[in-house]
Structure 1
């Protein structure tokens, strides 16, 4: 039998011999200190999921030890703090604030939810352009990774540089049976850091203006050829593309609506209390 099991049994035996009746509300007591109980169910809830064997024994021993010392310290402190009234006032103030906060959050979730339309996001983005700046360059274009053994690489060299429907169609057909990776992003912005992770070219990572000066890049290693065409380049410090600002704007708008809703609710409560003569000034 493990150390923890012996500890539990010893605790239960000690409790059973106390000669007093305690309603544990269906829980299984493990330890009692100063009329406070640690229950088996609380220990099980605190134990990390999947913990077994000696690890669970060590965790249980440490958890029980910490619980006991916390209770002992609390009892000691409680008997030596003279201004309990001040502490009670602080606890009451915190409880009041917590109740109000919980109520407000539940009410906001019921009434507002978290739905923000794309039109609202775009409007805020356009009205507050200066707030959203790119912290790195972004590009639009095309990327392809092809085995060095692939046929018709000379055709690829000609196609990937052209932003024409004919060239794109040919690249897409070629990529189906040949490309390891094909990414068409003429219609969306990509951070240069994402490109640098795909391309074995250090300059892309270290020179922030490299892709602005070099719009067609071809690199090869022992296994692959990498082709990158940059159609548009957005320098760092410029307005961040909308798709990358969306999540931040959504959080801003939710918080703005939340504050507006709570302030309106408080004003309505005050107005109603005034009309009902519930506010008495002395």
Structure 2
């Protein structure tokens, strides 16, 4: 380790430019019979990195490399040959799997149709509705959180309750006065999201405030919360397609991918036999 430290110290005095102009095959560190070369370090550095930072980067890399090599060499000494052979077999299998999966992904990306129509989504959803039961309630709602001292609170409340096109435009224009708000009551949100956004509504009092078609004006010491529940779906009910559409789309694409890969696996063997690249011997 003293020799390694000496080599590291000498090497760290070399500038970034010297890294770039060095010859391949020149070692900068050694652990046992394993060597680390300047060419291994060049990808770590760039012209935008200062000499001081380069020194730190190189030092850390060499120390990590040395630590790994020492562990590997000690492992080879202390592990049985049977265990080492088993590890080498696992490494070979993993290497094969990486190549195969990378090739499959490339072919899938190039070939598979990623267009999922509304008809595709509805067709899958209608057949598999039971798989989309909710584990918590969903709500459509709008809400505004404003300070109790807001001088426009009566107008805001009236417009919030009526909520015609003009009201929505006016409320949007006044949004800078709101502490928090959401006027999009056409999307489904989880009950837990409501608790996070409107802290005066909790799991304990939700039955009072989270009722379909209900308006609530809730106050605490500093703020007023205007809440209107447009719709609600209970736990264990079937989730609406609008809510699970991203999931349905991904399921459809995954099914296409699996079907394509199964066909690819069959076709690649058939083609190899036809082209006499693959044969078996009895």
Q: What TM-score comes out, normalization by structure 1 length? A: 0.72
Tell me if structure 1 keeps the 8 A contact 2:134–2:238: yes
- Shift of the 37–116 alpha-carbon distance from structure 1 to 2, 3 Å rule, reads farther
Tell me if structure 1 keeps the 8 A contact 2:137–2:232: yes
1:76 corresponds to: 77
1:36 corresponds to: 34
2:267 corresponds to: 268
Cα distance in 2 between the residues matched to 1:7 and 1:217: 74
- Shift of the 66–89 alpha-carbon distance from structure 1 to 2, 3 Å rule, reads closer
Look up the SS of the partner of 1:185 in the other structure: coil
Tell me if structure 1 keeps the 8 A contact 2:212–2:230: no
Tell me if structure 1 keeps the 8 A contact 2:8–2:59: no
Tell me if structure 2 keeps the 8 A contact 1:140–1:230: yes
Tell me if structure 2 keeps the 8 A contact 1:175–1:182: no
1:145 corresponds to: 145
How many residues end up aligned between the 2 structures?
Answer: 263
Look up the SS of the partner of 1:160 in the other structure: helix
- Shift of the 233–93 alpha-carbon distance from structure 1 to 2, 3 Å rule, reads closer
Cα distance in 2 between the residues matched to 1:89 and 1:157: 71
- Give, in angstroms, the shift of residue 81 of structure 1: 0.8
Tell me if structure 2 keeps the 8 A contact 1:138–1:192: yes
Look up the SS of the partner of 1:204 in the other structure: coil
Q: How does 1:211-226 map to 2 (within 5 A)?
A: 211-212=210-211, 215-226=214-225
Cα distance in 2 between the residues matched to 1:67 and 1:100: 28
- Shift of the 281–11 alpha-carbon distance from structure 1 to 2, 3 Å rule, reads same
- Give, in angstroms, the shift of residue 60 of structure 1: 5.0
Coordinate RMSD, CA, aligned: 4.1
Tell me if structure 2 keeps the 8 A contact 1:200–1:219: no
Cα distance in 1 between the residues matched to 2:26 and 2:10: 13
Tell me if structure 1 keeps the 8 A contact 2:212–2:232: no
1:169 to 159, 166, 170: 166
Look up the SS of the partner of 2:237 in the other structure: coil
Cα distance in 1 between the residues matched to 2:198 and 2:122: 33
Q: Deviations over 1:9-34 (max 9, x none)?
A: 44799xxxxxxxxxx97376332223
- 2:244 aligned with 1:251, yes or no? no
- Shift of the 145–28 alpha-carbon distance from structure 1 to 2, 3 Å rule, reads farther
- Give, in angstroms, the shift of residue 139 of structure 1: 1.3
Cα distance in 2 between the residues matched to 1:224 and 1:173: 21
Cα distance in 1 between the residues matched to 2:77 and 2:233: 64
1:19 corresponds to: none
1:18 corresponds to: none
Query: Unaligned regions of 5+ residues in structure 2, if any?
Result: 14-21
- Give, in angstroms, the shift of residue 197 of structure 1: 1.9
Q: How does 1:13-162 map to 2 (within 5 A)?
A: 26=24, 29-39=27-37, 59-60=60-61, 63-76=64-77, 80-81=80-81, 90-112=90-112, 115-162=115-162
- Give, in angstroms, the shift of residue 273 of structure 1: 4.1
